Amino acid sequence: AVTIFQLTCAHSVTLTLLSSVKNSEDVRCKCICPPYKDHSGHIYNKNVSQKDCDCLHVVEPMPVPGPDVEAYCLRCECKYEERSSVTIKVTIIIYLSILGLLLLYMVYLTLVEPILKSGFLPLQDHQPFANAHDVLARSRSRANVLNKVEYAQQRWKLQVQEQRKSVFDRHVVLS
């Protein structure tokens, strides 16, 4: 769980760095012009800088003849917008990968681990982590890293089981 947080912190640093990198496609000036006389409404997009973001620079080709341009442009509203496509891409991909990892871990914990540990499908016990108590009760021979990780994982499973009992079964918290 701590590594996930290191990931998140690294991600936040990356985001702030990336948000300063501007793709040329990521800025635009959007002008919305409503219907005028017999011309229908239209939306114009153009990649211009903020000082050039007005009707005269963006609306091309101008649909109305010369004298009407001012009246037409008075109705149009131009807005300068920018986004960061890199931020969006990185965020969505990181989110999907975290979601995928969690799903895989969930499938492993609920389906695969009981089969591996006890060799048969635990049809009678619908609770995940049902074997946490047994593993903790067994004595450990050596204290090496793998055993420690497994022990920590079993302790976490026990905590989650307690939480699940309080919330879902006994309804004492968060009803």
Partner 1 sequence: MDPNMVNAGDMNGSGNLMDFLDEPFPDVGTYEDFHTIDWLREKSRDTDRHRKITSKSKESIWEFIKSLLDAWSGWVVMLLIGLLAGTLAGVIDLAVDWMTDLKEGVCLSAFWYSHEQCCWTSNETTFDDRDKCPQWQKWSELLVSQSEGASAYILNYFLYIMWALCFAFLAVSLVRVFAPYACGSGIPEIKTILSGFIIRGYLGKWTLLIKTVTLVLVVSSGLSLGKEGPLVHVACCCGNFFSSLFSKYSKNEGKRREVLSAAAAAGVSVAFGAPIGGVLFSLEEVSYYFPLKTLWRSFFAALVAAFTLRSINPFGNSRLVLFYVEYHTPWYMAELFPFILLGVFGGLWGTLFIRCNIAWCRRRKTTRLGKYPVLEVIVITAITAIIAYPNPYTRRSTSELISELFNDCGALESSQLCDYINDPNMTRPVDDIPDRPAGPGVYSAMWQLALALVFKIVITIFTFGMKIPSGLFIPSMAVGAMAGRMVGIGVEQLAYHHHDWIIFRNWCRPGADCVTPGLYAMVGAAACLGGVTRMTVSLVVIMFELTGGLEYIVPLMAAAVTSKWVADAFGKEGIYEAHIHLNGYPFLDVKDEFTHRTLATDVMRPRRGEAPLSVLTQDSMTVEDVETLIKETDYNGFPVVVSKDSERLIGFAQRRELILAIKNARQRQDGVVSNSIVYFTEDPPELPPNSPHPLKLRRILNLSPFTVTDHTPMETVVDIFRKLGLRQCLVTRSGRLLGIITKKDVLRHMAQMANQDPESIMFN
Residue 77 within binding range of partner 1, rule CB under 8 A: yes
- For 23, residues 6+ apart whose C-beta sits below 8 A from its C-beta are 84, 85, 86
Identified binder of partner 1 from the candidate list 22, 91, 113, 130, rule CB under 8 A: 91
Residue 145 within binding range of partner 1, rule CB under 8 A: yes
Residue 86 within binding range of partner 1, rule CB under 8 A: no
Rounded to the nearest whole angstrom, what is the least distance from the CB of residue 164 to partner 1 in the complex?
Answer: 5
Select the span of 32-40, 51-59, 60-68, 116-124 touching partner 1 (CB under 8 A): 32-40
Rounded to the nearest whole angstrom, what is the least distance from the CB of residue 57 to partner 1 in the complex?
Answer: 16
Contact 47, 112 (CB under 8 A): no
Identified binder of partner 1 from the candidate list 21, 62, 70, 93, rule CB under 8 A: 93
The pair of three-digit structure tokens given for residue 45, joined into one six-digit string: 């997009």
Half-sphere exposure of 167 (CA within 13 A, CB side): 7
The CA dihedral of 81, 87, 93, 94, to the nearest 10 degrees, is: -140
Residue 49 within binding range of partner 1, rule CB under 8 A: no
Residue 57 within binding range of partner 1, rule CB under 8 A: no
| Residue labelled with tokens 């005028």 | 36
Q: Per-residue string for binding with partner 1, 94-123, x by CB under 8 A?
A: xx--xx--xx--x--xx-------------
Identified binder of partner 1 from the candidate list 21, 45, 97, 125, rule CB under 8 A: 45
Residue 1 within binding range of partner 1, rule CB under 8 A: yes
